[in-house]
Amino acid sequence: MTPPETDQIGKYAEGSRSAADLSCPIPTVLTQRRDFQRASRGQRVAMAGFILQALRRPEGEADGIRIGYTCSKKVGNAVARNRAKRRLREVARSSLPSLGKSGHDYVLVGRNTSTASLPFAQLMADMEKALAILHGSRS
């Protein structure tokens, strides 16, 4: 049995990315503890579904956007933490290439019950609002 034929599934199905999407930088994922600690000393914006921490890297370091995700055990068991991080990754993947600034580190911190339970559209709106607050274009 073969799967049914589909016309493009999802926003980034083959051939559906626009020229603007292709030119956006792809964020690098933070893996080192010291990078998370350094970002925690930067600016932060608390939203209903997450906390966004941001720090501009020193001039000598490479450009580009770097992003980290964290959820403590307060968020819940491993299943709940993984669900929250998956949602945070999708929010960042959708909004950071266009709204984030090169040379910044961002860390998304999951919140207890709201990260996994809020509607995705609200998480996206919160991310856009948080980035606008951090970068000075408040709306």
pLDDT at 21 exceeding the cut of 70: no
Instruction: Check: pTM over 0.85? Answer yes or no.
Output: no
User: Domain of 51: which CATH number?
Assistant: 3.30.230.10
In a domain, 58, yes or no: yes
In a domain, 130, yes or no: yes
Q: CA-CA distance, 3 to 32, in Å (whole number)? A: 41
In a domain, 17, yes or no: no
> Is the Cβ–Cβ distance between 50 and 123 less than 8 Å?
yes
- Residues 51, 66, 38, 75, CA torsion sign: positive
Sheet holding 50-56, edge to edge: 28-29, 66-70, 104-110, 50-56, 43-46
Tokens of 58: 């020193």
Q: Residue 48: which domain range? A: 26-134
Amino acid at 136: G
Domain count, the chain: 1
Q: What is the pLDDT of residues 67-113, one digit of tens each?
A: 999 999 999 999 999 999 999 999 999 999 888 888 899 999 999 88
Residue whose C-alpha is closest to residue 55's, from 36, 72, 71, 69: 36
Q: What is the pLDDT of residues 23-67, one digit of tens each?
A: 556 788 888 999 999 999 999 999 999 999 999 988 877 788 999
Tokens of 110: 């999951």
